[in-house]
Structure 1
Amino acid sequence: MNGAKILWVDDEIELLKPHIFFLKGKGYDVETCNNGYDAIEMVQSHLFDLIILDEMMPGMTGLETLPKIKEIRPTTPVIMVTKSEEENIMDKAVGSKIADYLIKPVNPNQVLLSIKKNVHQQQLVTEQTTADYRAEFGRISTSFADARTFADWSAIYKKLVNWEIELTDSNDDSIREILAYQKDEANNEYAKFVRKNYLDWINRKDADTPVMSHTLMRSNIFPEADRNRKTTLLLIDNFRYDQWRSINALLHNWFDIATEEFYCSILPTATQYARNAIFAGLMPLAIDKLMPNLWLNDNEEGGKNQYEEDFLRRQLQTNGKSYRMTFDKLIRPEAGRKLIDNISKVYDADFSVIVYNFLDILSHARTETEIIRELTEDEAAFRSLTRSWFEHSDLFTILKMLSERGHTVIITSDHGTIRVDNPVKIIGDRETSTNLRYKTGRNLNYNAKEMFVINKPQEAQLPQSNITSTYVFAYNRDFFVYPNNSNQFVRYYKNTFQHGGISMEEMMVPYIVLKPKG
């Protein structure tokens, strides 16, 4: 870990020899000079891992030397050392993007700590994080057998995502592989849990039944809107908990997080089913029966999510809610800019809804576009791209505007996505649905042990296009392929992000309530 090359610049460098011997004893290569002019020459001709710079030197001060060093080596960390405790000196140093600020007299351990923080931080964090995860690995695995409720599994998923994010920058590939295996194991056990409990959740409401797509508005969102003068619901399609974690720090200056939990998406975890269920407050079978003209089955032509505002207005009326409401669906980039120009209608509403489709578009683009595949080769890259998009998006601008107007904001999604890599064969006729994570149709041929099968769709409150229709759902990272041209199909879709099936990533949907600062 040691061996880093350090330049120490101080006009009283002779008095610091004990400190320098101490650092050399720790394995550091320390060079010295006693003025800013020599420091600049040495920085021009040598590469240093870190520079320690005295602020009060005759001739050229440390604050005058600093920008010249930064011009030559902009990424080299500089620790500023000074006798002065004046606030304006500190402000100038910090404003010049120094790495640390030490006040004389400094002791050797103080200097050593600052060096470790600025030169070895990633390595030290990696080592400690790896050790912490190894210590918790067994406890996490044991918790799978003890999980009895959706809340239990949500806690496991949250913990795994937290470790996934903690280990993102780790140099230890083996520990990330161990975490990936543990997450796969968790998803396999979670699939068994869903298979055992799903039909009971749908048909028998009890204390262990989670909030689900069709109960989300009544259970969570309407009560929140009743408590606040202004509430905005932001539904981001395909939005997962790890992606929320990638953007939440950006919102810190504008919002406080009042609630961070999960609800359970219905099956199929697909927009047509899950999002319509949210806005209608009904399961798909009930929507089809009550509003047959507004529901299209998988095998029918036409847009499957054209009537979400109609569904929501009906649900508001049914629940006796008389909010002044606006509803905006932002699919193309120009739609965000248009909403900013017309933001007054959102300000005037009691309850506003914004559906944002960017991540869904990005997921599909990743499947179809080679460069997007390269930019989102794994979950960590997808999180990074999500953050970059959000930071420069119209959506971020809208959220800042809503904070300034005192809006409570609810952020959620209709379902998540999972990166698939394991093909599972299935046979169906031309009427069979095309989704890779679930299939519905008649005369499906499959291995029932490899998937969750619903032979009687009405038991899962799902519509059926004909009397013999069946639904099947893929587990974990599986995706369905047909025997014909399967190799080409697998090459095209392997390692793409898909949704519709059973996994923690798809079914455990983040539900976030943000309160405006001030």
Structure 2
Amino acid sequence: MQTALKEKGDNMENTNRRIIWINTELSEPLMNTELKPYVRLLEFNGYDVTFSSSSDDATVLLKNKRFDAVLVNYLDLSTRDYGTVARIRREDPHIPIVLLTDTDDDEIQEVVSLYNVSDVMIMPTNPRQVVSSIGFLLDKQQMRDRYTPQAYVKNFNRQYSKHASEHEGQQLNSEGVNDEKDWQIWIDTYLRFVEWDFRLDALSIVDELKTIHEAEKREANAAFADYIQNTYSSWLESKDSPPLSVDVFHKFVIPEIQIGKSVLFVVMDCMRLDHWFKIEQLLYPDFHMTKHYYFSILPTTTRYARNAIFSGLFPIELADRYPHLYAEPEEGTTSVNRYEKDLMRLQLERNGLTLKPFPYYFKIFDEHGEIQYLDWLKDVNQISFTAIVVDFLDMLTHQRSEISLFKQLIPNEEAFRMVIETWFKNSRLYTIFKLAAERGLTIIVTSDHGSVLCKNGVKVSSPHDLSSGLRVKEGLEISCSSEAGLLIDNPAAYGLPNNGRETNYILAKEDYYFLYENQYSTFKNVFDGSFQHGGISFEEMILPCVILEPK
């Protein structure tokens, strides 16, 4: 039986939203008493309501007519039809479903979980609550599109006003030094930008707002580069410096080992902070998380930054103390970080840690490496400390510049985030994390550096050969615009060796990248819009270090 309180057919002039209300206990007295207030208010707010007394009739209606939402009475335990919601979902996987029930028992939770029920309302309830629920479900995207731009403007106006007042009110101590940890302000600033990256990802029509957001971020990145240029060298000596690459083991890893925990340390090469947040949401159900943030050393390349993590030493210290482990890679060598296992062992020994079983280091390049490490993790009896380096993100970042198919797959930062989430969700690395949780391991996840989307080529020159990086160059007599690059002519002040000669380094700021003048036109088309690293930006320098404890 079908009873339509308000049936206007499929008249093209009717713009009302249409709701089908499934009620297996439907009768005229019930309809005229208990349900009448709900129906009247729904109609008043522009909804047409069609009643159905069975799931079979409702399925036929859904096949033949367009409906915007479904209400399902799930009140009487004796008349609950478990299959009603299942049949609706088979007919329309996306239509919003609201369950009306008088209890929130296990069966309700099971139905909600299995069939993607949009909302559950405990009856009886105020009719306005039903109208509000339906309205929110149908209009949430439009409301998000409408209100997010307003919130964006208010947020950034408020933040800039706050930072200006903080800057004006900063006090100097007796030595004329600012007591405020200004590096923490930059971390908070970048976190806020990433938060808005994700909020804007969820909008459907935001081209203009995204353009404004990118301009705001670029302006902030320019200020951040100036800050790093003026401050970084002082961090090497200051007790109030932020955590740097050289501090990761000392501050985050070793304390966990010292209290007797079995630790899995994971370095995901070239993982940005926004990439981590995509991975984090997948791990949240299985782990308690303690989040820390640190700054990569300069240059933000694998050779310097990751060696600093595993050695606990700045490059100049590493070259001086262990020259055989710092040595330049030989011709044809596939990795410039082939001594990480030795550097890790030496750092543990310097901190008085002699572990049994012996620490295990492994580098994962591909699926075969994932399988090999997963098999080891399944079979090993006891673990004291194990470290893995995952190269997938770094390889994807570089190959995107070289393979046109990858450029189509990852046209922008939002797409990059989506690819990272899909990859991790379906990777054996995800399985490794879950197995580690089952074995009770504490997992510490970090990155050695990030990458930045490069949009502005700038000319660099030297009478000598320079290194090949697009965001960092090493060599002699380097010349480049000071607006686009930081020239380091005193490497020791930045913790860098001079390699036995008057070596200069130049690091790209913001979203610049370096091209030789005689190759500028040719390679600008190749590298515009590529992700690169080695320079100074939020995305390359501010990184997560997260401690995961199994739930």
Structure 2 partner of 1:41:
60
Structure 2 partner of 1:456:
490
Superposed displacement of residue 299, structure 1: 9.9
Structure 2 partner of 1:428:
462
Please give the per-residue CA displacement for 1:82-118, whole angstroms capped at 9, x wherever unaligned: 4x54836525642443322334434321211221232
Superposed displacement of residue 3, structure 1: 4.3
Q: Is the 8 A contact 1:51 1:76 kept in 2?
A: yes
- Tell me whether 1:307 sits opposite 2:307 in the alignment: no
Structure 2 partner of 1:267:
298
- Tell me whether 1:30 sits opposite 2:52 in the alignment: no
C-alpha distance in 2, partners of 1:424/1:399?
42
C-alpha distance in 2, partners of 1:353/1:92?
39
Please give the per-residue CA displacement for 1:216-235, whole angstroms capped at 9, x wherever unaligned: 22233212221242112111
Structure 2 partner of 1:294:
325
Aligned residue among 132, 152, 161 for 2:185: 152
Q: Is the 8 A contact 2:41 2:131 kept in 1?
A: no
Superposed displacement of residue 332, structure 1: 1.7
Assess, with a 3 A threshold, how the Cα gap between structure 1 residues 49 and 296 changes in structure 2: closer, same or farther.
farther
Superposed displacement of residue 465, structure 1: 4.2
- 1:11-410 equivalences in 2 (<5 Å): 11-12=26-27, 13-15=31-33, 16-55=35-74, 62-82=81-101, 85=103, 87=105, 89-91=107-109, 93-94=111-112, 95-142=114-161, 146=167, 149-171=182-204, 172-202=206-236, 204-207=237-240, 209-257=241-289, 259-297=290-328, 302=333, 303-323=335-355, 324-343=358-377, 348-410=382-444
Structure 1 partner of 2:515:
481
2:120 counterpart letter in structure 1 = Y
Structure 1: runs of 5+ lacking an equivalent: none
Q: Is the 8 A contact 1:154 1:262 kept in 2?
A: yes
Q: Is the 8 A contact 1:55 1:63 kept in 2?
A: no
Assess, with a 3 A threshold, how the Cα gap between structure 1 residues 223 and 474 changes in structure 2: closer, same or farther.
same
Superposed displacement of residue 180, structure 1: 1.6
Q: Is the 8 A contact 1:299 1:431 kept in 2?
A: no
- Tell me whether 1:445 sits opposite 2:479 in the alignment: yes
1:342 counterpart letter in structure 2 = W
Report the RMSD for the aligned CA atoms in angstroms: 2.5
C-alpha distance in 1, partners of 2:363/2:385?
15
Is the partner of 2:218 in helix, strand or coil? helix
Q: Is the 8 A contact 2:316 2:492 kept in 1?
A: yes
1:193 counterpart letter in structure 2 = Y
Superposed displacement of residue 143, structure 1: 5.5
Please give the per-residue CA displacement for 1:301-356, whole angstroms capped at 9, x wherever unaligned: 63311111111111222222112311111112111111111115766231211111
C-alpha distance in 2, partners of 1:503/1:88?
50
Structure 2 partner of 1:7:
20
C-alpha distance in 2, partners of 1:321/1:356?
25
Determine what percentage of the aligned residue pairs are the same residue.
Answer: 31
C-alpha distance in 1, partners of 2:314/2:459?
29
- 1:464-475 equivalences in 2 (<5 Å): 464-465=498-499, 467-475=501-509
Is the partner of 1:235 in helix, strand or coil? strand
Q: Is the 8 A contact 1:346 1:352 kept in 2?
A: no
Structure 2 partner of 1:506:
540
Please give the per-residue CA displacement for 1:407-429, whole angstroms capped at 9, x wherever unaligned: 11111111111111111111235
Superposed displacement of residue 153, structure 1: 0.8
C-alpha distance in 2, partners of 1:507/1:86?
47
C-alpha distance in 2, partners of 1:346/1:205?
42
1:166 counterpart letter in structure 2 = R
Please give the per-residue CA displacement for 1:380-418, whole angstroms capped at 9, x wherever unaligned: 211111111111111111111111121111111111111
Moved more, 117-126 or 150-159: 117-126
Superposed displacement of residue 62, structure 1: 5.0
Moved more, 105-114 or 155-164: 105-114
Aligned residues: 511
1:154 counterpart letter in structure 2 = I
Normalising to structure 1: TM-score of the pair? 0.92
Please give the per-residue CA displacement for 1:52-72, whole angstroms capped at 9, x wherever unaligned: 123479xx9754443333222
Assess, with a 3 A threshold, how the Cα gap between structure 1 residues 144 and 25 changes in structure 2: closer, same or farther.
same
Superposed displacement of residue 212, structure 1: 1.3
Superposed displacement of residue 155, structure 1: 1.2
Is the partner of 1:473 in helix, strand or coil? strand
Moved more, 455-464 or 401-410: 455-464
1:122 counterpart letter in structure 2 = Q
